[in-house]
Structure 1
Amino acid sequence: MNTKNIKVVIISMLFLLTVNVTAQETIKVPLSNPAKTGLLKMGIINGSISVKGYSGKEVIVKGTRRKTNDHYNYHGNKKSKTGLKRISNNSLEFTATEYDNVVRISTPVQITTDFEIQVPRNFSLKISTINNGDIYVENVNGVMDVSNKNGKITLKEISGSVSADTLNGGITISFAKVTPGVAMAFSNLNGDIDVTFPKTIKADIKIKSDRGEVYTDFDLKTKPSKAKITKGESSRGNAYRVKVEKWVTGSINGGGAEILFKNFHGDVIIRSK
């Protein structure tokens, strides 16, 4: 089966003091087998990612080069450029490839690009960004692995299972349905973790927030924390080491697959609907 490869390059070259024009382009990526579930894989350095499920059979990708006035003077010799006009390079470049219902999207590191993507509703996601953007997902059903280092993660009316993590930004998730018997994990360093589940969910819950509180409206049947005991080499010889960690454990509706919440500087909020 051939790989579909779509590369978009748009270059707007503008003289200094003219109005900047933001490059933007929309492409459609056909799937090898539209009747089967697909997977979107993308990891960008700069920019935001928005993914919405729809009733179509292809992936629609809209990329927008964010306006920027950044100018890198690598040579540092301003006198040699006196009397010349600087040409701004507002280029947009990204690549989309498809093979066996797996769509991969990539963009150059130095460009800040915001993506708005439409996928068929039954679609799995493995998406991440690092700087200058948030991640937003709505109305998608699948397995989702979502990561954002410096921004928020918002998943709205989704179905399936999720693993989500961020360092600096809140996590807000609302489930329409949850895949039974599948473990999930949510972790954060700075910001709240706020997740809403269907009230009928069956799960074993494990929660830790070093500098935050835990809130829920579920009837959570808590269990006593167990001490963690390890044995190994140390300055005192082959000794036992006992550590009691601040984990809250319990079950909802009789228990089920484990759902882990780990936070450092923020609250953990577990809601029912």
Structure 2
Amino acid sequence: MKLYSITTPFLQLFCPGRDSRFVVTNKPNQTPIVPEGTVYFRGILKNIADYRFQILKMVLLISGFVFMFSPSASAQTFSETIKETVRFQNINSSENELYIHNINGNVTVEGYNGDEIQITYHKKIDADTQRDLDRAIEEVEFILEEESNRILIYLDAPFICVKKRDGKISYNINDWDDDYDFMFDISIRVPQNTNLDVSTINNGRVLVENIHSKWLDVSNINGSVELGNVAGITDAKTINGDITASYRENPSGDSSFETINGTIEVMFPENLSADITFKSMHGDLYTDFKNVQRLQARVESSEERGHGKTTYRIDKFAPLRIGNGGPTFKFEVLNGDVYVKRNRAT
């Protein structure tokens, strides 16, 4: 593999303080091993002249982006912080449910030994003009609904289609007005036994701490999912981000942890007994639990209608059993590793 390493003054303009070297390999499908912070392009450059031509194109392209996305001198910003307090009708019920669905921004939920749901949200809007800003302030709403043992928190606007089914909420965003951007950072303190369904989509993480409930449903799209000192059957997923979790008690039922581009790291108490299934295209599973055994690969059968044929599928990844086995914990990742660790703090 032939490597060219050339320092360019152009990158110093846009990435000051970084190691601004391009490392180029002459093997199209091979990624070179480079120092941390090195910017590299994968491709074939026949000679230095080609290389310089590529640099020139890159500089022109970046210059165009800088011009296109330079903030306007007339840009307007609005921000406010609102606090609200609500309660469940029966604070001692194990069926109490809180649904929080954000679009842009962080969601933080903390359990505590109280009987109120303390909500704080910071709303920020950036617009091209004052007229767009005023319109955005009116259009984008923070909605709080109370339904006996269920509380719903979500956003609404003319371009947001809110769908409710079986008490759950989903979004369909159409024709988002690019004349303004909005961000909500939501922080909530809840009784520790509250069942949670929490999500965001962009520009934020989902953090849940000190919750001891029946179930947790936590998701993100472009960001991380973090669970700390929790207990409950769990469904945690994201697309572009890591999943980290530490349990004060092992989940009593089947749970799943899924990401596409990221690492999954979960810590369970040392008395864990569970069956682990793992699927990955570019990753491995690691564990420091001692009593681990590999089970036989699972075989699933399906019958083709009208043909009288039965198809058998053998799972590529044989499950693992930790301890005496028990509920199934599913780990799925496309590009990343999975770490199943002992939580020695419990």
Q: TM-score, normalised by structure 1?
A: 0.80
Are 2:104 and 1:34 aligned? no
Are 2:266 and 1:195 aligned? yes
Q: CA RMSD in A?
A: 2.4
Are 2:188 and 1:117 aligned? yes
Are 2:304 and 1:256 aligned? no
The one-letter code of the counterpart of 1:24 is T
Per the TM alignment, residue 44 of structure 1 is displaced from its structure 2 partner at its CA by 2.6
Q: Tell me if the contact between 1:209 and 1:268 (Cα under 8 Å) persists in the aligned partners.
A: no
Report the counterpart of residue 104 of structure 2 in structure 1. 46
The alignment covers a number of residue pairs equal to 242
Quote the Cα distance in structure 1 between the aligned partners of 2:124 and 2:241: 21
Report the counterpart of residue 13 of structure 1 in structure 2. none
User: 1:61-76, aligned counterparts within 5 Å?
Assistant: 61-68=119-126, 70-71=127-128
Per the TM alignment, residue 227 of structure 1 is displaced from its structure 2 partner at its CA by 4.4
Per the TM alignment, residue 211 of structure 1 is displaced from its structure 2 partner at its CA by 1.1
Other structure's SS at 1:167 match: coil
Aligned match for 1:151, one of 197, 200, 223:
223
Listed as ranges, the gaps of 5+ residues in structure 1 are: 1-15, 73-84
Q: Tell me if the contact between 2:78 and 2:133 (Cα under 8 Å) persists in the aligned partners.
A: no
Other structure's SS at 1:255 match: coil
Bigger CA radius of gyration: 2
Other structure's SS at 2:202 match: coil
Question: More deviation in 103-112 or 200-209?
Answer: 103-112
Q: Tell me if the contact between 2:77 and 2:124 (Cα under 8 Å) persists in the aligned partners.
A: no
Aligned match for 2:142, one of 87, 90, 94:
94
Report the counterpart of residue 132 of structure 1 in structure 2. 203
Are 2:230 and 1:173 aligned? no
Inter-CA distance 101–58: structure 2 relative to 1 (3 Å threshold): farther
Report the counterpart of residue 8 of structure 1 in structure 2. none
Inter-CA distance 179–193: structure 2 relative to 1 (3 Å threshold): closer
Per the TM alignment, residue 33 of structure 1 is displaced from its structure 2 partner at its CA by 1.6
Are 2:94 and 1:22 aligned? no
Quote the Cα distance in structure 1 between the aligned partners of 2:93 and 2:312: 50
Report the counterpart of residue 117 of structure 2 in structure 1. 59
Higher share in strand: 1
Report the counterpart of residue 247 of structure 1 in structure 2. 317
Quote the Cα distance in structure 2 between the aligned partners of 1:227 and 1:87: 58
Inter-CA distance 170–87: structure 2 relative to 1 (3 Å threshold): closer
Per the TM alignment, residue 122 of structure 1 is displaced from its structure 2 partner at its CA by 1.1
Quote the Cα distance in structure 2 between the aligned partners of 1:233 and 1:32: 50
Report the counterpart of residue 217 of structure 1 in structure 2. 288
Other structure's SS at 1:88 match: helix
Other structure's SS at 1:114 match: strand
Higher share in helix: 2
The one-letter code of the counterpart of 1:114 is D
Inter-CA distance 18–131: structure 2 relative to 1 (3 Å threshold): closer
Per the TM alignment, residue 246 of structure 1 is displaced from its structure 2 partner at its CA by 2.4
Inter-CA distance 150–256: structure 2 relative to 1 (3 Å threshold): same
Quote the Cα distance in structure 1 between the aligned partners of 2:218 and 2:106: 12
Report the counterpart of residue 80 of structure 1 in structure 2. none
Per the TM alignment, residue 243 of structure 1 is displaced from its structure 2 partner at its CA by 4.0
Per the TM alignment, residue 260 of structure 1 is displaced from its structure 2 partner at its CA by 1.0
Identity %: 30
Considering Cα pairs closer than 8 Å and 6+ residues apart, tell me whether 1 or 2 has the greater RCO. Answer: 1
Report the counterpart of residue 4 of structure 1 in structure 2. none
Other structure's SS at 2:83 match: strand
Quote the Cα distance in structure 1 between the aligned partners of 2:150 and 2:341: 33
Quote the Cα distance in structure 1 between the aligned partners of 2:314 and 2:93: 47
Listed as ranges, the gaps of 5+ residues in structure 2 are: 1-72, 161-175, 177-181
Q: Tell me if the contact between 1:32 and 1:99 (Cα under 8 Å) persists in the aligned partners.
A: no
The one-letter code of the counterpart of 1:272 is R
Other structure's SS at 1:178 match: coil
Other structure's SS at 1:40 match: strand
Tell me the alpha carbon deviations over residues 181-217 of structure 1, each in whole angstroms, 9 at most, x when there is no partner: x111111111111111001021111111121011000
